[in-house]
């Protein structure tokens, strides 16, 4: 079940040339990999102009590039105009406080530096010429300075020349060995080189000049700001008077790999004093701080349980003079993704998952009351200026599309094309949410997607997708890696279940999977499969394959030994095969230790209770195993071991190996190879 806003006609001629006509067909892997992507909606202070990023793919070159565009946010007939030149690859737009320039990052000159371009049009100007790459930035409210994050060696403190020289030493060494004395030795897909993300303040130069110096702030905090591997500029920012900087960080010590204790720090922007910890009393995660307009109150997000990365993020308010804190939304059983304040400081705008959707919400700060503003699909990012809302939203039928409107009764209108306009000959499968009684007689939800060429009365083979996380969701959203439309495009129906452990259904529902990886979610999957077959007669239950990645891959291995009857084939991407070894080899130890109730040596029975490796004797179904060398979250040996078991048992199997990908397959041509291999495996076993 889904609702749709009525959208005004879309003018996209300036953005995208019309594609050559072709016969109607379902979504194909190459079309998914090369689809233009729209992101980063950023409004000028008056709310009249929208700046956004458009990413295009050069498939033959196996790379993508991103440019900035601008468009009148008030007119559905306005044409977008390009801001950054051809040949530039840019990211992270931010409009200046006077609305005249747009800042962005680019490596056009050989390293990532800050640039700006006139909003009215013109050539970009380089703003920084620092000896280190700029990772993230935020311009001060007075427009005179910018805080940037750069990777630096703690032993060099704020000496940029030392950092640049120290970073070159590895190239001069004749030995390749590295000695570590603590974890992390590697994280996500990168080995630890001894550097931390640190914050530096740069004085913005005059016209025609570049800034080559910066001063370290918060040097007494030895930790990554922003965090690794996915932290961004939302983890730091300026006070309204431009005198202080707030940031979130976790101590980079021996306990870091099993700690989720991020704290908020306040530091003078001139570097005159050490950073002060504002949330030392909370040993769980504190992040995303935003000041009230008068600078007296700090709003931020906080978890309550140390060591649990999927705890609920509550919205908090702190009186900076007294240090008193209160939870704004204690009755709202959802986890806020971020904080954007209204101009009057009375409302927090945030996104949060909800029942298979990812809406935009307004939270009244005084009462904690919550109002859904944009309800259907997945709101991935948004900006609000001068009473104007701009946002990007995707769904099971489209990647991110840019919209304006939705506040104060204003109609929602599209400002960029959706997938149907970008791919005019593609027909997408219709989808519907359904529910059933799962574990503990709780209501559990799922989605069914019809094949692109669905005809009433026919039956279709099924791709049964199991999401990862496990605290995640296969809801009404678009993915460039696990997209049900790619299976619908091959003529398959798709079934997806948000089993216990999924997000968006309340924290108790999310918590239910911890220390229960193999029983409660499996029961939901089994009952969900039965409910889908009963409710949707076009599903051919005799021709079905199950597929999953990460935790979903774990579940595929678990199903291979504990529920293999319905499946003609299995596909496992980067899954956990040996839970015990996962507890010793994954980099973020807090995850496996929370999910198993302790370390492998302190609680070994928990690691073995739902360990797929203990049930290999029951494996019989043909399986495709996929794993990547740079996956440090679930190391490649897990996939190799599973493939070894399959081969040794004589079970039909294949192993797809990527030496240059991490937990995700990101390169365009690798993505197509991934999909072609998976689709070929399904076709071999269930037809179409």
Q: What is the pLDDT of residue 167?
A: 67
Q: Which two tokens stand for residue 48?
A: 């009249």
Looking at the chain, how many residues does it have? 688
Q: What are the tens digits of pLDDT across the range 514-538? A: 999 999 999 999 999 999 999 999 9
Tabulate helix, strand, coil % of the chain (nearest 5).
20, 30, 50
pLDDT range class, residue 172, cuts 50, 70, 90: low
Q: What are the tens digits of pLDDT across the range 242-295? A: 999 999 999 999 999 999 999 999 999 999 999 999 999 999 999 999 999 999
- Whether residue 539 contacts residue 530, with contact meaning beta carbons closer than 8 Å, is answered with no
- 189: pLDDT strictly greater than 70: yes
Q: Residue 263: CA atoms inside 13 Å, Cβ hemisphere, count? A: 20
Note the CATH architecture for domain 431-686.
3-Layer(aba) Sandwich (3.40)
Which is more confidently placed, 347 or 6? 347
Q: Which two tokens stand for residue 509?
A: 């529902």
- Residue 54's nearest CA partner among 101, 105, 16 is 16
Element (H, E) at 227: none
C-alpha span between 634 and 248 (Å, rounded): 27
Contacts of 527 (CB under 8 A, 6+ apart): 436, 437, 438, 439, 444
Element (H, E) at 397: none
Q: What are the tens digits of pLDDT across the range 575-587? A: 999 999 999 999 9
Q: Which two tokens stand for residue 15?
A: 């953005």
- 195: pLDDT strictly greater than 70: yes
Element (H, E) at 511: helix 507-511
Residue keyed to tokens 């015990």: 580
Residues classed as catalytic: 550, 631, 663
Q: Which two tokens stand for residue 485?
A: 């439309």
Q: Which two tokens stand for residue 316?
A: 């908090």
The crossing angle, in degrees rounded to 10, of helices 551-562 and 520-535 is: 80
Q: What are the tens digits of pLDDT across the range 119-163? A: 999 999 999 999 999 999 999 999 999 999 999 999 998 999 999
- Residue 14's nearest CA partner among 613, 417, 360, 382 is 417
pLDDT range class, residue 16, cuts 50, 70, 90: very low
- Cα distances (Å, whole numbers) of residue 639 to 292, 464, 546, 636, 644: 49, 20, 17, 5, 9
- Residue 340's nearest CA partner among 293, 404, 278, 294 is 293
Provide the sign of the torsion angle of the four alpha carbons 210, 215, 216, 218, taken in this order: negative
- 478: pLDDT strictly greater than 50: yes
DSSP of 334-361, one letter per residue? S-----EE-TTSSEEEEE--BTTBB-EE
User: What is the mean predicted confidence (pLDDT) over 97-101?
Assistant: 97
Contacts of 640 (CB under 8 A, 6+ apart): 627, 655
- Residue 539's nearest CA partner among 555, 548, 528 is 528
- Whether residue 198 contacts residue 152, with contact meaning beta carbons closer than 8 Å, is answered with yes
Average pLDDT, the chain: 95
- Whether residue 212 contacts residue 129, with contact meaning beta carbons closer than 8 Å, is answered with yes
pLDDT range class, residue 77, cuts 50, 70, 90: confident
User: What is the mean predicted confidence (pLDDT) over 8-35?
Assistant: 65
Q: Residue 350: CA atoms inside 13 Å, Cβ hemisphere, count? A: 29
C-alpha span between 226 and 224 (Å, rounded): 5
- Whether residue 134 contacts residue 128, with contact meaning beta carbons closer than 8 Å, is answered with yes
C-alpha span between 402 and 53 (Å, rounded): 10
User: What is the mean predicted confidence (pLDDT) over 18-25?
Assistant: 67
Burial class (CB in 10 A: 0-12, 13-18, 19+), 331: exposed
pLDDT range class, residue 9, cuts 50, 70, 90: very low
Helices (H), ranges, 586-667? 589-595, 604-609, 637-649
- Cα distances (Å, whole numbers) of residue 268 to 221, 234, 262, 273: 13, 18, 20, 6
Q: What is the pLDDT of residue 171?
A: 56
User: What is the mean predicted confidence (pLDDT) over 672-677?
Assistant: 98
Provide the sign of the torsion angle of the four alpha carbons 111, 112, 115, 120, taken in this order: positive
Which is more confidently placed, 519 or 168? 519
- Residue 426's nearest CA partner among 71, 74, 19, 58 is 19
- Evaluate if pTM is beyond 0.85: yes
- What are the boundaries of each domain within the chain? 22-105+113-118+377-426, 431-686
Q: What are the tens digits of pLDDT across the range 650-667? A: 999 999 999 999 999 999
- 468: pLDDT strictly greater than 60: yes
pLDDT range class, residue 170, cuts 50, 70, 90: low
- 2: pLDDT strictly greater than 60: no
pLDDT range class, residue 1, cuts 50, 70, 90: very low
């Amino acid at each position: 079940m889904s609702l749709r806003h009525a959208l005004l006609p879309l003018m996209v001629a300036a953005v995208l040339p019309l594609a050559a006509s072709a016969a109607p067909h379902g979504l194909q892997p190459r079309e998914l990999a090369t689809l233009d992507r729209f992101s980063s909606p950023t409004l000028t202070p008056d709310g009249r102009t929208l700046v956004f990023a458009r990413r295009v793919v050069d498939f033959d070159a196996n790379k993508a590039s991103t440019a900035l565009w601008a468009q009148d946010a008030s007119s559905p007939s306005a044409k977008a105009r390009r801001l950054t030149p051809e040949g530039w690859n840019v990211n992270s737009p931010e409009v200046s406080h006077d609305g005249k320039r747009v800042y962005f990052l680019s490596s056009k000159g050989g390293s990532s530096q800050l640039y700006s371009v006139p909003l009215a049009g013109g050539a970009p100007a380089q703003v920084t010429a620092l000896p280190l790459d700029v990772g993230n930035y935020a311009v001060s409210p007075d427009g005179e300075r910018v805080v940037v994050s750069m990777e630096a060696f703690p032993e060099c403190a704020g000496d940029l020349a030392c950092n640049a020289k120290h970073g070159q030493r590895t190239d001069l060494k004749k030995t390749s060995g590295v000695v570590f004395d603590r974890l992390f030795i590697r994280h996500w897909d990168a080995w630890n080189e001894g550097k931390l993300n640190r914050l530096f303040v740069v004085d913005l130069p005059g016209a025609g000049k570049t800034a080559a110096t910066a001063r370290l702030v918060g040097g007494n905090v030895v930790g990554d700001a922003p965090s690794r591997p996915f932290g961004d500029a939302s983890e730091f920012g300026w006070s309204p008077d431009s005198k202080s900087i707030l940031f979130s960080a976790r101590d980079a010590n021996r306990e870091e790999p099993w700690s989720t204790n991020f704290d908020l720090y306040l530091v003078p922007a001139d570097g005159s004093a050490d950073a002060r910890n504002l949330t030392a009393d909370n040993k769980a995660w504190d992040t995303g701080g935003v000041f009230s307009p008068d600078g007296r109150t700090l709003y931020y997000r906080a978890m309550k349980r140390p060591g649990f990365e999927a705890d609920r993020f509550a919205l908090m308010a702190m009186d900076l003079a007294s240090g008193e804190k209160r939870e704004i939304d204690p009755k709202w059983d959802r986890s806020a993704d971020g904080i954007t304040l209204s101009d009057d400081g009375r409302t927090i705008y945030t996104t949060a998952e909800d029942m298979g959707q990812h809406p935009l919400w307004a939270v009244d700060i005084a009462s904690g009351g919550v109002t859904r503003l944009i309800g259907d699909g997945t709101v991935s990012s948004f900006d609000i200026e001068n009473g104007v809302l701009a946002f990007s939203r995707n769904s099971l039928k489209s990647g991110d599309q840019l919209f304006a409107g939705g506040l104060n009764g204003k109609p929602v209108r599209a400002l960029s094309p959706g997938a149907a306009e970008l791919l005019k000959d593609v027909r997408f499968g219709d989808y519907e949410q359904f529910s059933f009684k799962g574990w503990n007689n709780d209501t559990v939800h799922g989605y069914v997607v019809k094949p692109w060429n669905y005809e009433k009365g026919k039956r279709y083979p099924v791709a049964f997708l199991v999401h990862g996380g496990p605290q995640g969701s296969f809801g009404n959203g678009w993915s460039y890696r696990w997209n049900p439309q790619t299976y619908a495009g091959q003529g398959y129906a798709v079934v997806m279940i948000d089993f216990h452990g999924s997000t968006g259904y309340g924290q108790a529902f999310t918590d239910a999977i911890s220390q229960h990886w193999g029983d409660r979610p499996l029961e939901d999957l089994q009952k969900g499969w039965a409910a889908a077959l009963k409710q949707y007669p076009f599903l051919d239950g005799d021709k079905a394959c199950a597929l999953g990645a990460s935790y979903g891959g774990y579940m595929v291995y678990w199903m291979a030994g504990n529920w293999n009857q319905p499946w003609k084939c299995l596909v496992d991407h980067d899954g956990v095969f040996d839970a015990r070894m996962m507890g010793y080899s994954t980099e973020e130890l807090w995850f496996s230790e929370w999910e198993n109730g302790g370390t492998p040596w302190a609680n070994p029975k928990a690691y073995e209770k739902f360990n797929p490796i203990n049930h290999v004797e029951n494996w019989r179904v043909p399986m495709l195993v996929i794993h990547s060398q740079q996956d440090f979250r679930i190391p490649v040996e897990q996939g190799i071991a599973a493939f070894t078991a399959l081969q040794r048992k004589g079970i039909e199997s294949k192993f797809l190996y990527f030496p240059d990908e991490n937990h995700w397959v990101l390169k365009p041509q690798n993505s197509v190879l991934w999909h072609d291999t998976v689709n070929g495996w399904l076709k071999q076993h269930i037809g179409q």
